[in-house]
Structure formats: structure tokens, C-alpha cells
Chains A and B, each alone.
Chain A
Amino acid sequence: MSEFIWLDDYKIGHATVDAQHQHLFELANKIVEAGSSEALTHLFMLFYQHVREHFEAEEQLMKQCRYPGYVQHISAHNQMLEKLNEISETIFDRHWQPAAIKAFVTRWVLVHIREEDRLMGEYMHTLPEYRSDTCLTTE
């Protein structure tokens, strides 16, 4: 049974963002199930890379949409990247605890998706140009 279960309730109504969130859940599950330190190292690096690219995509989107909460949202992203950095140190030092990834996903990722990403989604839905897979504004 997977540790992290994706629920439709987590969707913010933007196809790309929702797909990326779901993918991060899948990767997080693989991390906690990793059977060796080589697998754990690889999966964690993959996870970090996907988190990084996902944040970049969201930040691009927010900028295109001129989202007023842009600065605070980026600050939350940076805090989460810092948190991931801390976890990666523990993997390197071999003091890794699966509980750390569990805490990261439940206390950071889920809270961020359900609060900050949801607000971002709600704002995008108010835009006249909004489509469910992008955010284009006329210049």
C-alpha cells in the first residue's frame, strides 16, 4: 500500500500543474520504498529535479498570469527547496530517516498544494483568458 495517496481533492484545476503534483506523489512513494542506498540516492535526486522543474513551471505561470501572490509563493518554494537540501544532507551522511520524507510530503507539500497552489488556481480561474492547460494573457 502506498504511503502517499493522491486524491482528486488536491487538484487545483490546471492540467499541467495537477499532473506534476501527482507525479511528485508517485516519486515520493518510490523514495520511501527504496531498497538500497543506490536506489535511494537516485530516486531522491530525481525527486529533487522534478520538484525544481515543477517550481520553475509554476513560477513561469504565475509571472505570465501576473499573479499578485507571486512573491510570497516563490518564498514558499524556496523554503521547500531548503527543506529538501536538509534531507539530502542526511542521505549523504547516512542518517536518513523515511520519516523525514513523510513529514516533508504531509507537512510541506500537501499544505502548500491545498493552500498556496489552490489560491493560485482560484486566481487563474478568474482570468478571462484562462484555459485549463495554460495561462495566456494578451499583451
Chain B
Amino acid sequence: MNQFVWENHYLLGNEKVDQQHKELFRLANRLLASKDIHALTENIMLLYHHVREHFQAEEVFMKQNGYPEYQHHVQTHNLMLEKLVEFSNDINQQQQLEALDVPGFMHDWIAHIVAEDAAINAYFASQQEQKSGKSLY
């Protein structure tokens, strides 16, 4: 049974981003299902790889479009990536899966999606509205 369950209120309305978010849920569940250290090592690398790629895509978008909260958003990304690096260290130190706070990581990341990622959406949506408002006059 999966521990992390996707819910529709995580959807941001951007197909690519929503797909990437869903994929990360799948990989987190895969990490939790790891049976031995070999699987743990592979799955943490896989999760890190996707989280990193996803964050990079978001950051390129924010930077290219002049998102004002870019720096702060990148800092939260870095904190989450550092958490994953800590997990990889724990795995290397032969810690058991239960000792890795994967639920804590997912909880923080879900909060990040519904607050900070949603804020990006809201910002650019209001920019669009303002632009189209101006064109009426």
C-alpha cells in the first residue's frame, strides 16, 4: 500500500508541472518500498535525480519570467535537496529505512507545492489579468 497518496487539490493546472509532481509521489513511494540497501541506494538516487530536474525546470521558468520571489523559492528548493543528500548519507551509514524521515520530507514538499508553487501560478495569472485589463482601455 502506498504511503503517499496524490490528491487533486495538489494540481496547479500546469500539465507538465502536475505530471512531475505526481511522478515524485510515485518515486517517494518506491523509496519507501525498498527492501534492502541496494534498492535504497538506487531509489534515493532516482528520487534525487527527478527532484533536482523538476526544481531546475521550475527555476529556469521563474528566472526567465522575472518571478520576484525567485531567490527565496530557490532557497527552499536547496533545503529540500539537502534533506535528500542527508538521506543518502544515512543510507551510506547503514541506517534503516525507518530512520530516514521520508514522511517529514514529503509533508514539507506537499506544503511547498500548495503554498509556494501555487504562489508562482497566482502571480503570473494576476500579471496576465492586469495585461488583458490594460488592453481594454
Bound: A80/B48 CA distance, A = 18
Residues of B within 8 A of A56 (CB): 74, 78
Given known A41-B92, A88-B49, contact A52–B44 (CB-CB < 8 A): no
A94 to B: closest C-beta gap in Å: 9
User: Which residues 31-66 of A have a CB within 8 angstroms of B?
Assistant: 36-39, 41-42, 44-46, 48-49, 52-53, 56, 60
Q: Which of B38, B56, B74, B88 contacts A42 (CB 8 A)?
A: B88
Given contacts A38-B88, A41-B91, A48-B52, 8 further A-B contacts (CB under 8 A): A37-B41, A38-B91, A39-B92, A41-B44, A45-B48, A49-B85, A52-B52, A85-B49
Contact (A88, B45) CB under 8 Å given A38-B37, A56-B74: yes
Kindly identify, within residues 13 to 31 of chain B, every residue whose CB is under 8 Å from any CB belonging to chain A: none
Q: For window 52-94 of chain A, which residues contact chain B by CB distance below 8 Å?
A: 52-53, 56, 60, 81, 85, 88-89, 91-92
CB–CB B92/A42 < 8 A? yes
Shortest Cβ distance from residue A70 to the other chain B in the assembled complex, whole angstroms = 12
Would A92 and B85 be within 8 Å (CB), given that A38-B91, A39-B92, A56-B74 are in contact? no
Q: How many residues of B contact A (CB 8 A)?
A: 24
- Chain B residue, CB-CB nearest to A36: B92
Determine if A52 and B84 form an interchain contact, defined as CB atoms under 8 angstroms apart. no
A36 to B78 alpha-carbon distance, docked (Å): 26
A53 touching B49 in the complex, CB below 8 Å, given contacts A38-B37, A46-B85, A92-B42: no
- Which residue of chain B lies nearest to A37 when distances are taken between CB atoms in the complex? B41
B89 within 8 A of A: yes
Q: Do A42 and B91 have beta carbons less than 8 Å apart?
A: yes
Identify the 7 closest CB pairs spanning chains A and B, nearest first: A42-B88, A42-B92, A38-B92, A45-B85, A38-B41, A45-B88, A41-B45
Given the complex of chains A and B, what is the CA–CA distance between A91 and B44 in angstroms?
12
User: Which residue, B46, B88, B91, has most C-beta atoms of chain A within 10 A?
Assistant: B88
Q: Is the CB of A53 within 8 A of B78?
A: yes
- Residues of B near A89 (CB, < 8 A) are 49
